[in-house]
Amino acid sequence: MDKRIALIVAILILHVELEASVPDRPVAGSGAALGFAGMPINSPWSVFQNQAVLAWQDNYWVGVHHENRYLVKELGLSAIAGIIPTSTGNFGVNLSHFGYSQFNVTRACIAYGMKFSDKFSAGVGLNLHHLQIAGDYENKNAYTVEGGLMYMPISKLTIGAYVFNPTRSSLDEQQSMPPILGLGVSYFASEKVMLALQIDDNTETKPAIRGGVEYSPIKSIAVRLGYSSENPQGLTVGFGWSIKQVQVDLSFGYHSVLGYTPQLSVSYCFAKQKVISHEP
């Protein structure tokens, strides 16, 4: 086996505790700095984590994301996403690529979300996963489904739920994609402070608790701090900045053994954004 592949496999085993698949689903934007708690946040970037958020997006939107996991270039993850609103519901598309030429996973998704009331929405997504390993290894493909719910009982509180791969599709015996169940809340304690908390369980390792706080001293700036108890584990910090229709989010994750993971997300909304906050 190529030495680089051996190194990547060793890091992944430590990173995902032997069971979960290689990462191909980014947590981008504000969620990356909030302990990777993106699922309950009303942000376009949450399309990677909860398709129900699509229903609350009113404008065409596109974003790009890149992260350099543990400052190892072979563990880079890049993604692009877009949102297409319609009169009955909204479509989302995203594409992510993890790894390098000798070992990589590509994931393509098409999703749809719609409102059922002024407080409740649901969404569903269909994914194609492609695993490529150089040499004599056979490329693998797999299809998965995922879906989410979002409920806003009051304007300051958002509750989200999520399920991934309930049919237990798998690339092969060594690259499993265990089902994931998630539940989270985000709450605006004031006009300047948002709290986020998420619990998710991949059904094969212990549940992860993720959360963080976002502080916006002015409407165009946000400062974020978070922590994740499991994959990926560690402290997170970051900030967001918006100017007209452009949104920039920079974050850093820190693992006590594996080191730092910088992440950068840049997006463009084809209409004037109200504020940087995610409150509906």
The helix/strand/coil state of 1 is coil
CA–centroid distance for 273 within its chain: 21
N-to-C CA span, the chain: 51
Residue 205 CB neighbours (<10 A):
15
Identify the pLDDT of residue 22: 56
Instruction: Write out the chain's pLDDT in tens, 280 residues.
Output: 455 555 555 555 544 443 345 566 788 999 999 999 999 999 999 889 899 999 999 999 999 999 998 888 888 999 999 999 999 999 999 999 998 888 889 999 999 999 999 999 999 999 999 988 887 777 889 999 999 999 999 999 999 999 999 998 887 766 678 899 999 999 999 999 999 999 999 877 789 999 999 999 998 999 999 999 987 789 999 999 999 899 999 999 998 888 899 999 999 999 755 444 455 4
What is the pLDDT at residue 23?
Answer: 60
pLDDT at 204: 76
Instruction: Quote the pLDDT of residue 19.
Output: 36
Q: What does the pLDDT read at residue 4?
A: 54
| CA 186 – CA 50 distance, rounded (Å) | 13
Output the pTM of the full model.
Answer: 0.86
Q: Say what the pLDDT of residue 6 is.
A: 55
Structural domain spans, the chain: 3-269
Residue among 162, 142, 139, 140 nearest 150 (CA): 162
**Cα(77)–Cα(178) distance, integer angstroms:** 20
Q: How many CB atoms lie within 10 A of CB 39?
A: 28
- Per-residue pLDDT at 134: 83
CATH T-level assignment (fold) for domain 3-269: Porin (2.40.160)
| 231 burial via Cβ count (<10 Å: 0-12, 13-18, 19+) | middle
| Residue-level pLDDT at 258 | 80
